[in-house]
Amino acid sequence: MLNHSAKRYWLVLFSNIVIILLVIYISLTNGIFDITVQDVLKTLLRMDPVPEHDLVILDFRLPRIVIAALVGFGLGVAGATIQGISRNGLADPGILGINAGAGAMIVIFMLFFGGHRIAENDWLSILAMPLFGWVGGLGAALLIYLFARQNGHLDTQRLILVGIAAGAGFGALSLYLSLKMNPQDFEMATVWLMGSIWNANWQYVVAVFPWMILLVPIIISKAYILDLFQLGEEHAKGLGVSTEKEKNLLLLASIGIVSACVSVAGNIGFVGLIAPHIAKRLVGVHHQRIIPVSGTIGMLLVVVSDFIAKTVFAPVELSVGIVIAIIGIPYFVYLLFKTKV
């Protein structure tokens, strides 16, 4: 029989999935052009399809929802992993500058290869963007590691300060480079940098999905290592863990996930900060449970925020990054005072 904590974990996970499906249903059926559930089912099952419904559901709403779900799940998993590696509750891909580093490299890609090719759904450009983002995210992580290490060890206090500085620097670089673009590419880069999935399509899904399939299982398989890291690096070494090797593997996997998310949705912050904290409150401190729950909470955050972004001020649309920031900034300040960093 399952013990109480296991029952609680499965209950939380099941509840999150049910709420996500409910939000997806609301997002599919509501908007400027309302569609009934019957019409949605007919369109998805290809029963007496209507061109207008095909356009709204299959070309606009469904790929956008899928991208929001994938990005939210990826950022939630990466956030939980990075907090586990650093043993710092304020660590987050956005706050540590990894998002900004990946974003800066993708802006360079847009500058030299043309953002119009992405807007025109050029397959090669869309598939290449996550690779460029991965290089930028890796560069940011290496820079942060270089300056946050003290006496051969990673200083978790310095990590946040260095990460914020690196994020500001990469953000300034992205802005400077975007000013060198032609007006069309500049507009696209600006909207993208604020965190937006308005232009989501099935090509974007194909670009990000393999990264999730490959890297998320690696992180979940190493969840017990993250638990051992919480005992301290010396204790983990004493238990036979090759700490540097495991840190590097987990960090590379996290950066890959974040870079893929940034490449299709721009710089969406705070998801990787909020989701792991909520997950820990709900299911405890074991990463085998934290990581999946954090992923589903991140998924829920981004899907809900995207629905709010596209409907509250319709026909004007907010960037999903702005909506999440409205939630995330007060929570970050709360955590900042709570942990007294």
Mark 130-159 as b/e (b = at least 16 C-beta within 10 Å): bbbbbbbbbbbbebbeebbeeeeebbbeeb
Kindly give the interhelix angle for 243-265 and 98-113, rounded to the nearest 10 degrees.
50
- Report cis status (omega within 30 of 0) of the bond before 315: yes
Three-point CA angle 279, 280, 286, nearest 5°: 110
Selection from 89, 72, 67 nearest residue 295 by Cα: 72
pTM above 0.85, yes or no: yes
Does 230 have pLDDT greater than 70? Answer: yes
Q: CA–CA separation, 325 vs 320, rounded Å?
A: 9
Query: What is the per-residue pLDDT across 67-126, written as a single tens digit (0 to 9) for each?
Result: 999 999 999 999 999 999 888 887 888 878 888 888 888 888 888 776 555 555 666 777
Q: What is the DSSP string of 2-64?
A: --HHHHHHHHHHHHHHHHHHHHHHHHHH-SSS---HHHHHHHHTTSS--HHHIIIIIIIIHHH
Specify the pLDDT at position 11: 94
pLDDT at 237 over 50: yes
Cα 258 from Cα 261, distance rounded (Å) = 5
pLDDT given at position 120? 58
Token pair 């405890």 is at which residue? Answer: 284
* Alpha carbon distance 29, 57 (integer Å): 9
Instruction: List pLDDT tens digits, range 24-67.
Output: 999 988 877 778 888 888 888 888 778 888 888 888 889 999 99
90-94, 187-191, 267-271, 295-299, range with the lowest pLDDT? 187-191
Domain residue ranges in the chain = 4-339
Per-residue model confidence as pLDDT tens digits over 156-193: 677 778 888 888 899 889 888 888 888 777 877 777 77
Average pLDDT over residues 267-280: 90
Backbone angles phi, psi at 84, to 5 degrees: -70, -40
Which two three-digit tokens encode residue 53? 């419904």
CA distances from 58 to 24, 53, 243 (A): 14, 8, 46
Residue 20 — very low, low, confident or very high, per pLDDT cuts 50/70/90?
very high
In the DSSP assignment, the letter for residue 150 is E
Secondary structure of residue 167 in the 3-state scheme: helix
Query: Which one-letter DSSP state was computed for residue 108?
Result: H
Q: How confident is the model at residue 289 (pLDDT cuts 50, 70, 90)?
A: very high
Most confident of 50-64, 99-113, 282-296, 310-324: 282-296
**Mean per-residue pLDDT of the chain:** 84
Is 129 in contact with 204 (CB distance < 8 Å)? no
Six token digits for residue 330? 């007060």
How far apart CA 51 and CA 53 sit, in angstroms, is 5
Residue with tokens 């998801």: 271
Percent of the chain with pLDDT over 70: 93
Q: 4-339 belongs to which homologous superfamily? A: ABC transporter involved in vitamin B12 uptake, BtuC (1.10.3470.10)
The dihedrals phi and psi of 150, each to the nearest 5 degrees, come to -140, 125
Amino acid at 326: I
pLDDT at 341 over 50: no
- The most confident of the ranges 140-144, 181-185, 284-288, 295-299 is 295-299
Number of other residues whose CB lies within 10 A of the CB of residue 176: 11
In this prediction, residue 156 carries a pLDDT of: 65
